[in-house]
Amino acid sequence: MSEVNSPWLIVGLGNPGPDYAANRHNVGFMVADLLAERIGGKFKRAQKAQAQVVEGRIGAPGPENRRVILAKPMSYMNLSGGPVSSLRDFYKVPVANIVAIHDELDIDYGMLRLKLGGGDNGHNGLKSMTKAMGADYHRVRFGIGRPPGRMQVADFVLKDFSSTERKELGYLVDRAADSVECLVTEGLERAQSTYNS
């Protein structure tokens, strides 16, 4: 099966449970939730992995229409690789058709950067995914900026977005979801030229 005809596995990274739901570290879950809403699906527990999944299609009817599996690992961020590789095996998804949506400290708040492969930049979710299946998957990096003053990174990412940030958050999550759809239907170059800021 060629990669063109293979499904895409779109993974929002985050931590499960209501205590983490609005954290900066959970922006991947927020984007995945919006994508699920757009395709008219509800997350359900996966049969073969510690994750919630929604299956559906992205793109207009025709050659750009793609089968997608949206996933939210339920294993905590630093163990995301196990559930993602189980889903990859179960749905027979090539690594090049996997997209990780995650928070990124080294990009200003709300900026997006899409790329294929690369390092993990200290992000535990990416570290776990790369350990499980190599680094050659796509990333949609959602900028959250650096912690203020002397705040520890771990404290910063596990805090909710500030009230100022929340004013724009809906729009930014929407734009990130658009970038994922563009990546899947039109390819990385088009998505980068449209959404990389």
Sequence-ordered list of residues with C-beta below 8 angstroms from that of 153, at least 6 positions apart, any chain = 105, 122, 147
Distance CA 64, CA 123 (A): 32
Rounded to 5 degrees, φ, ψ at 61 are -55, 140
| Active site (catalytic) residues | 25
Query: CB neighbours (10 Å) of residue 65?
Result: 12
Strands (E), the chain: 8-12, 44-45, 51-58, 66-73, 98-104, 112-116, 138-143
User: What does 14-54 look like in DSSP terms, one character per residue?
Assistant: ---STTTTTBGGGHHHHHHHHHHHHTT---EE-SSSSEEEE
Rounded to 5 degrees, φ, ψ at 146 are -95, 155
